[in-house]
């Protein structure tokens, strides 16, 4: 084998998906000058090697998983994923190009060898050519007049036998003649209701005894071998030898190597027996079986005509190799010799050749190992001391061809040499010729033709290496860039998480204002993102703003709705700012339910930054290798870092038209947007009476709703400090309440203590702050306090404004309590009396509400009036915030 000199010749190029072809599904077969090829897609190509052109393309309804060529019958059997087995007659298939077209394209195809743009029409395969429809078939082979299939059930593999039709008959199988279940299997997990493409397909091989009808070790199917009688009997038993029955060898994805005697399986159809007795497990490779075949390892004498294989070989995906051979023990008894070897993996595909050679492909190289004996047939001594022994070590020899996903050994080879037909991961069809006479120990004269061929081979090898280096460099650059981005993101995350107190390195400030958009006044929130850190926010960062509102702000049982806006942040360096303005309402119904919570957060997308780097695959590497893929990313696909949260309440949503600055007068009327057609019709019809809606009737006939809150003046002075010096406490308190409203500066400039505002729905809201004295609470005398009064004709708007004031006061009281301030001495008896009065009012509210459900319309009017009076008393308590 040391004298083999590989010579690679590229024939054609076929379309392949991005990232290259995956091993396991592509197939290539050769019969004379015709090459039958499948890349694992729905297409099967027929290529003419002599003419160097594509002559036919067949399209199947699904992915093609396996091809089987019956040369004597001129038939091609095709296994289509989740469809079944199809049979194409090679004699009746019409050629898609004429001989003239062949001559016209001969020069062009011979130069570039590319058929990516199909020069022949695609022939859809007719459904009638499906000879065995089945959605569970994973492998098949044909032996003489029997079609053997392997299907995957919910829990077990099943071998089935069908009568194979003779030439000229109906191509459909005559019927099932036997079946048996193999070991349990675990179907690959997938989405509910969606079939999952298997990662590894099982392997079938038919082993026949010397007395079978298959001549010279070559059954009519392309997946069979003929074994020597000694090895056949040792492996499968005396029953199989006496019956002269072929045996089905099954290599499963879990590593099991099973066998079933064909004639016993057929007999069990009429006289069923124990299925476990029909199946024998020969070995377990503990890794997916990629190849099963047989070799001739010992030389033959010149008078021997029939060549039978004397060694059974099985290869696993990760390189574990099993070889079984008949040998003699020390006592002279015939025993099976079993050896396991470890070859470089992962193994993508394999094929058996002449002279005891096994060719196998890895992502980086195409190798050949030799199990043949290097002794004469009359020499009984051999390497390991026992006649017929296997070598103790296998040394793969490199053929300097990488990324081969499927190959087959051609019969067109010189004596002592070999010719391999291979398909690369890039979709290139090539031949690799191994000529033992190409290298000679004596220097020879180099001719121009041989020099040109040598240059072509060197350039081809350089191109392959250059292509791989370029692909690997691109993958390394992408991963380096992804690691740099991840490091920057880690620094930003640590800076934000470590600064929970004090100024944050990256902050987001939220403010609100009214704007005029599309003939409607809209309350908008402006989010100002500031980067005060020393890091840059590059690709993958986004500002997420969530607007959380309830359909009815005062209904505790209403559903909460949220809208999230995602704004990409690109190239925000240190010291940079990014401003985003979002609408808060009113919505399409013209309503703006306050309060609304606006939350800002930074989101870093791992899938956007890291997913692309993980998805980059080496086309020369095994696609099924257990490497990190984008599926290992977490379900949330990123990291979320909260920045700020802001609640927009009624006090921020109020507008004050009487106090508005000149530049804000451009806003439209302070009422919900109206239809321009209705406005035009009302103008044409002249003045009309006031509308009689519920809001107008309430404003006309019912008194406005009022709520009051009393706060200790001492508490307010301590909380406001010196920031409001020079103005009255009433005006300072009103400024503090409206600090987040645009009118705060006007209130401060005019020293106002009461304002008349307008709610988003157009109703008035009146705020008044006055100074009062609270007696009967402190034994030392009256307590000076500020009374904050909210008045509105809309009960809902009054409640919203009252809730906003209470929320601010709660925060103020919590801050003062943290500073250690203590209230003055109080009269507890007076406080108990106030509490008792409130409990009485609450019980009366419950009684009145129960009565409203049972009374008629006339009696319920008085009850409703009394209920409103009680609510008014509850909204104006005599308690004081200290």
What digits encode the pLDDT tens for the residues 130-144? 989 999 999 999 987
Question: Would the pLDDT of 512 be above 50?
Answer: yes
Better-scored residue on pLDDT, 514 or 671: 514
pLDDT at 215: 39
CA 254, distance to chain mean position in Å, is 26
Question: Would the pLDDT of 289 be above 90?
Answer: yes
pLDDT at 543: 92
pLDDT at 429: 93
Token match 């995956």: residue?
22
Mean pLDDT of 152-158: 87
Report H helices in 641-760.
650-653, 676-685, 694-701, 713-720, 729-737, 744-750
Confidence of residue 17 (pLDDT cuts 50, 70, 90): confident
Residue 504: Cβ within 10 Å count: 17
From 135, 21, 125, select the one nearest 77 (Cα to Cα).
Answer: 125
pLDDT by residue (tens digit) across 628-684? 444 444 455 788 889 999 999 999 989 888 776 544 434 544 444 455 554 555 555
Residue 157: Cβ within 10 Å count: 25
d(CA 173, CA 161): 10
From 14, 20, 38, select the one nearest 28 (Cα to Cα).
Answer: 38
Q: Is the Cβ–Cβ distance between 740 and 652 less than 8 Å?
A: yes
pLDDT by residue (tens digit) across 201-211? 999 999 999 87
Residue 435: Cβ within 10 Å count: 18
How many residues does this entry show for the chain?
882
Confidence of residue 37 (pLDDT cuts 50, 70, 90): very high
From 366, 395, 411, select the one nearest 8 (Cα to Cα).
Answer: 366
Q: Which residues make Cβ contacts (< 8 Å) with residue 545, sequence separation at least 6? A: 525, 527, 564, 565, 567, 580, 582, 598, 599, 600
Enumerate the β-bridge partners of residue 207.
225, 247
pLDDT by residue (tens digit) across 460-500? 777 777 777 887 888 888 888 888 888 888 888 888 888 77
d(CA 155, CA 813): 68
pLDDT at 765: 93
Model pTM above 0.75 = no
Contacts 24+ apart (CB under 8 A), 298-305: 298/372, 298/373, 298/377, 298/388, 299/372, 299/373, 299/375, 299/376, 299/377, 300/377, 301/377, 301/378
Task: State whether residue 680 is helix, strand or coil.
Answer: helix
d(CA 278, CA 258): 10
From 359, 385, 384, 383, select the one nearest 370 (Cα to Cα).
Answer: 359
d(CA 716, CA 721): 8
Mean pLDDT of 589-617: 78
- Determine what percent of the chain is predicted with pLDDT higher than 90: 25
């Amino acid at each position: 084998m040391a004298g083999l000199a590989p010579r690679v010749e590229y024939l054609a190029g076929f379309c392949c998906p991005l990232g290259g072809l995956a091993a396991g599904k592509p197939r290539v077969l050769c019969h004379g000058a015709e090459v039958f090829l499948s890349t694992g897609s729905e297409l099967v190509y027929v290529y003419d090697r002599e003419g160097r052109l594509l002559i036919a393309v067949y399209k199947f309804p699904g992915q093609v998983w396996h091809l089987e060529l019956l040369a004597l019958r001129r038939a091609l059997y095709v296994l289509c994923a989740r469809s079944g087995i199809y049979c194409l007659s090679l004699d009746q298939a019409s050629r898609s190009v004429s001989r003239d077209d062949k001559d016209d394209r001969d020069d062009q195809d011979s130069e570039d060898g590319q058929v990516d743009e199909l020069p022949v029409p695609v022939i859809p395969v007719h459904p009638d050519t499906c000879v065995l429809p089945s959605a569970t078939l994973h492998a098949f082979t044909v032996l003489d007049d029997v079609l053997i299939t392997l299907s995957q059930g919910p829990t077990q593999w099943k071998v089935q036998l069908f009568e194979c039709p003779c030439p000229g008959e109906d191509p459909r199988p005559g019927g099932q003649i036997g079946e048996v279940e193999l070991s349990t299997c675990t179907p690959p997990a997938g989405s509910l209701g969606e079939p999952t493409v298997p990662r590894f397909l099982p392997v079938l091989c038919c082993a026949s005894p010397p007395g079978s009808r298959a001549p010279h070790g070559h059954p009519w199917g392309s997946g069979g071998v003929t074994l020597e009688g000694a090895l056949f009997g040792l492996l499968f038993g005396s029953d199989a030898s006496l019956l002269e029955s072929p045996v089905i060898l099954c290599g499963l994805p879990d590593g099991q190597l099973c066998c079933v005697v064909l004639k016993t399986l057929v007999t069990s159809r009429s006289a069923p027996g124990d299925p476990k007795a029909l199946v024998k497990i020969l070995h377990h490779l503990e890794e997916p079986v990629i190849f099963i075949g047989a070799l001739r390892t010992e030389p033959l004498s010149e008078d021997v005509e029939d060549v039978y294989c004397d060694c059974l070989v099985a290869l696993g995906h990760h390189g574990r190799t099993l070889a079984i051979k008949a040998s003699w023990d020390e006592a002279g008894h015939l025993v099976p010799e079993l050896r396991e070897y470890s070859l470089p993996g992962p193994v993508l595909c394999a094929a058996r050749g002449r002279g005891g050679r096994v060719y196998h492909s890895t992502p980086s190289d195409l190798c050949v190992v030799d199990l043949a004996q290097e002794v004469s047939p009359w020499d009984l001594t051999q390497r390991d001391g026992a006649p017929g022994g296997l070598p103790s070590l296998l040394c793969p020899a490199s053929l300097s061809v990488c990324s081969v996903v499927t190959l087959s050994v051609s019969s067109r080879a010189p004596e002592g040499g070999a010719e391999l037909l291979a398909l690369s991961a890039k979709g290139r069809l090539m031949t690799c010729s191994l000529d033992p006479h190409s290298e000679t120990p004596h220097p020879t004269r180099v001719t121009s033709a041989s020099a040109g061929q040598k240059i072509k081979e060197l350039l081809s090898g350089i191109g392959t290496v250059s292509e791989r280096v370029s692909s690997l460099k691109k993958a390394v650059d992408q991963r380096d860039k992804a690691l740099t981005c991840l490091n920057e993101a880690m620094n930003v995350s640590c800076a934000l998480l470590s600064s929970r107190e004090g100024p944050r390195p990256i902050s987001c400030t939220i403010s609100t204002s009214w704007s005029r958009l599309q003939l409607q006044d809209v309350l908008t929130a402006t989010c100002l993102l500031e980067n005060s850190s020393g890091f840059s926010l590059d690709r993958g960062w986004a500002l997420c703003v969530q607007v959380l509102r309830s359909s009815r702000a005062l209904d505790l049982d209403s559903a909460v709705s949220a809208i999230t806006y995602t704004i990409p942040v690109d190239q925000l360096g240190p010291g940079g700012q990014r401003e985003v303005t979002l609408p808060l309402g009113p919505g399409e119904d013209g309503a703006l339910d306050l309060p609304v919570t606006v939350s800002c957060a930074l989101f870093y997308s791992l899938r956007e930054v890291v997913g692309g780097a993980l998805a980059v695959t080496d086309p020369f590497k095994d696609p099924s290798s257990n490497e990190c893929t984008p599926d290992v990313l977490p379900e949330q696909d990123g990291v979320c870092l909260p920045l700020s949260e802001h609640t927009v309440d009624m006090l921020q949503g109020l507008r004050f038209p009487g106090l508005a600055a000149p530049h804000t007068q451009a806003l439209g009327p302070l009422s919900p947007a109206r239809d321009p057609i209705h406005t035009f019709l009302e103008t044409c019809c002249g003045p009309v009476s006031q509308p009689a809606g519920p809001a107008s009737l309430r404003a006309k006939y019912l008194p406005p709703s009022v709520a009051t809150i009393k706060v200790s003046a001492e508490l307010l002075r301590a909380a406001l400090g010196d920031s409001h010096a020079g103005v009255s406490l009433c005006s300072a308190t009103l400024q503090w309440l409206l600090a987040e409203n645009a009118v705060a500066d006007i209130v401060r400039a005019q020293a106002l203590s009461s304002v008349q505002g307008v709610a988003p729905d157009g109703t008035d809201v009146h705020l008044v702050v006055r100074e009062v004295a609270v007696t009967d609470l402190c034994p030392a005398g009256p307590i000076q306090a500020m009374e904050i009064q909210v008045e509105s004709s809309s009960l809902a708007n009054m409640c919203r404004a009252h809730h906003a004031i209470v929320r601010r006061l709660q925060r103020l009281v919590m801050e003062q309590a943290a500073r250690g301030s203590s209230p003055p001495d109080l009269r507890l008896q007076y406080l108990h009396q106030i509490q008792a009065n409130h409990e009485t009012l609450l019980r009366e509210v419950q009684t009145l509400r129960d009565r409203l459900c049972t009374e008629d319309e006339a009696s319920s009017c008085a009850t409703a009036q009394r209920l409103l009076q009680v609510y008014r008393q509850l909204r104006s308590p005599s308690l004081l915030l200290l």
